[in-house]
A and B are shown apart, each in its own frame.
Chain A
């Protein structure tokens, strides 16, 4: 039942073929039988979910009009605030934090009577690409339990790919939605910077962060985006630009659509199976009428360096709020007020978070600011210009989502730089604030899913839905599920 699309489920609910209570129980049962192995969830909000389901069923019984998302179980990354339900960011420091308010996305979804099943695991404060940096548990990839699910939104990706819920929310600062989507064989969208309000998303790198969506098919993704996109008074970086009816762009022809493939992201270091999957996908897109050409986006190869200055710099500033005074854990022993800050932070943060705070503090410190931070912001402009130039001629840019498929748990945890380099294809998109979507496009020799990424102009998500749905309709990779 949980592998049906949002539309199919909504129709079944409205015509009383199933009840939201049944659907919610099915989701809870699925979590019960699979999550001891997968560890996608940090907490399951069972009682709240069952109560919410009863409300939906009552509305349906009373003949009230309900949203297409009403009554359908979904999950939320544990760095998005849920009023009255713990939000830990997978950090020891916030292990008991209960938000006194809802993130704007949650407020919008709750008004539509969605069933929020629970909060999913992540790399602490969304810093990482494997979900191994969680202070609480290691999430497993359902396609191979010895492999990572990707990250940082690993739990949200697994909850969808293993059919625990119908869709989920994550956050994407350098690829944290698209990369785990690729590793799990599902769809992951990072919308344009400013498309979805970030009020209530715990800040990591404010000029890069954006809330994203995981689904099993492209139409579901369009439907969810329609419901949560738009201007919000509570987030001054949210855009006052009309939200398109994205689902109307599903299954439209792509004749004559111009697609560019940057050769910088198809070179050495990209796994052979991924290159081959991309080549077949390009042929498929050409059969569908698209014109595909290779281009050069020269500055993209500097994205990772740029990111690992900008993101830690912003993080070191954002994470200074964790001082053990207003919220979060406070150390038991300290000698002074200053020592209280030091001890609380030292005990509360994990290794990777500390490393990034240290890098950011260094690159922002006197004497290094110009050489690192300012330089990175200039290179960021060059990366952005490369995209702008390409979009004068092309509608869409196509790349692999990741240079490699899901790696083994433990394989890269002691080599942060190797882990960072896995984000080479996704980071440029955040740098330029563009929308990007990862969709399944094959499997490697170990039967692990491969993802490809479409990128479009800012606020042009409709074109992503158009091209991704055309590809999806012509292939069946998205229909495959892991055996559990």
Chain B
């Protein structure tokens, strides 16, 4: 079920790139892991609800108050590239 083509398709979605050798290794290891999780298919879950969040809390809201936010210099301090108070990215439009 997991072949080289699947790996290539998924890696595109995940924004990752792999060498031919890495792809072969991934086919092997992912087949092994996904083969194991296949066990779940044998469990009858008809009508069983879904648990997304273990404590079942609903949305929790706080008061909408005006507060000071983080200073811009701090927000930008870890940026690999920045200019005039903004994050800088390569040209998107020609």
Question: Which residue on B lies nearest to A360, using beta carbons?
Answer: B14
Kindly state whether residue A4 has any CB partner on chain B within 8 Å.
no
The reply on A365 being an interface residue by CB < 8 A is yes
Given A349-B16, A365-B13, A384-B54, also A416-B29 (CB < 8 A):
yes
Q: Which of A207, A302, A334 contacts B40 (CB 8 A)?
A: A302
Q: How many pairs of residues, A versus B, come closer than 8 Å at their CB atoms?
A: 162
A305 and B36 within 8 A (CB): yes
Known A236-B60, A328-B80, A340-B90; judge A207-B43 contact (CB<8 A).
Answer: no
* Residue A223 interfacial (CB < 8 Å): no
Q: Are A326 and B79 in touch, CB under 8 angstroms?
A: yes
B66 within 8 Å of A by Cβ? no
Residues of A within 8 Å of B17, CB to CB, are 342-343, 346
CB pair B55 A192 closer than 8 Å: yes
Given A207-B53, A379-B45, answer yes or no on A362-B90 (Cβ-Cβ < 8 Å).
no
Question: Which residues of A lie under 8 Å from residue B78 when comparing CB positions?
Answer: 96-98, 100, 326-328
Known A346-B16, A374-B50, A416-B29: A326·B40 in contact at CB below 8 Å:
no
Would you call B16 and A345 a contact (CB within 8 A)? yes
Residue pair A420, B33 in contact (C-beta under 8 Å): yes
Q: Closest chain A residue to B62 by CB distance?
A: A233
Q: Bound complex: CA of A379 vs CA of B50, how far in Å?
A: 8
**Closest residue of B by beta carbon distance from A320:** B15
Bound: A98/B81 CA distance, A: 15
Which of chain A's residues has its CB closest to B80's CB?
A: A330
Segment among A16-24, A350-358, A397-405 that sits at the interface with chain B? A350-358
**Chain B residues near A98 (CB-CB < 8 A):** 77-78
Whether a CB of chain A sits under 8 angstroms from the CB of B48 is yes
Q: Which chain A residues in 330-382 approach chain B with CB under 8 Å?
A: 330, 334, 336-338, 340-343, 345-346, 349, 354-355, 357-359, 361-362, 365, 371-372, 374-382
In angstroms, Cα B43 to Cα A343, docked, is 40
Contact-size category for A: 35 or more
**How would you classify the secondary structure of chain B's contact residues: helix, strand, loop or mixed?**
loop
Enumerate chain A residues within 8 angstroms of B55, measured Cβ to Cβ. Answer: 192-194, 237, 239, 433, 458
Chain A residue, CB-CB nearest to B39? A305
User: Is A359 within 8 A of B16, CB to CB?
Assistant: no
Contact of A417 among B11, B33, B79 (CB under 8 A): B33
Contact residues, B11-64 vs A (CB, 8 A): 11, 13-18, 26, 29-30, 32-34, 36-37, 39-41, 43, 45, 48-55, 57, 59-60, 62
In the complex, which residue of chain A has the Cβ closest to the Cβ of B42? A302
B84 surroundings in chain A (CB, below 8 A): none
Closest residue of chain B to A432 (Cβ to Cβ) is B54
- Complex: how many Å from CA A432 to CA B55? 8
B14: contacting residue among A329, A334, A361, A420, CB under 8 A: A361
A192, A379, A431: residue with the most chain B Cβ atoms closer than 10 Å: A379
Instruction: Evaluate contact between A361 and B10: CB separation under 8 angstroms.
Output: yes
Residue of A nearest to B75 (CB): A100
Interface-central residue, B16, B30, B75, B77, by most chain A CB under 10 Å? B16
Quick one: which of A194, A384, A417 contacts B36, CB cutoff 8 A? A417
Q: Are A308 and B36 in contact (CB under 8 A)?
A: yes
Partner of B70, one of A101, A236, A349, A416: A101
**Is the C-beta of A213 less than 8 angstroms from some C-beta in chain B?**
no
B7 A358 Cβ-Cβ under 8 A: yes
A122–chain B nearest beta-carbon distance, Å: 20
Give bound CA distance, A207 to B60, whole Å. Answer: 16
Kindly state the separation between the CA atoms of A381 and B51 in the bound complex, as whole angstroms: 5
How far does the Cβ of A171 sit from chain B's closest Cβ, in whole Å? Answer: 16
Whether, in the assembled complex, A306 has its beta carbon less than 8 Å from a beta carbon of chain B, the answer is yes
Instruction: Let me know if A200 is at the binding interface, CB within 8 A.
Output: no
Interface residue ranges, B against A (CB under 8 Å) = 2, 6-7, 10-11, 13-18, 26, 29-30, 32-34, 36-37, 39-41, 43, 45, 48-55, 57, 59-60, 62, 70, 74-75, 77-81, 87, 89-92
A residues at B contact (CB < 8 Å): 96-98, 100-101, 192-194, 207, 233, 236-237, 239-240, 299, 302, 304-306, 308-309, 316, 320, 323-330, 334, 336-338, 340-343, 345-346, 349, 354-355, 357-359, 361-362, 365, 371-372, 374-382, 384, 416-417, 420, 430-434, 458
Q: 7 extra interchain contacts, Cβ-Cβ under 8 A, other than A193-B53, A374-B50?
A: A240-B60, A325-B89, A342-B15, A354-B16, A362-B2, A381-B50, A458-B55
Can you list 24 A-B pairs, Cβ within 8 angstroms, ordered by A? A236-B60, A239-B57, A302-B43, A324-B80, A328-B78, A328-B80, A330-B81, A334-B90, A342-B16, A345-B14, A354-B18, A355-B26, A358-B7, A358-B16, A358-B30, A361-B13, A362-B34, A377-B50, A379-B40, A379-B45, A380-B51, A416-B29, A416-B32, A433-B54
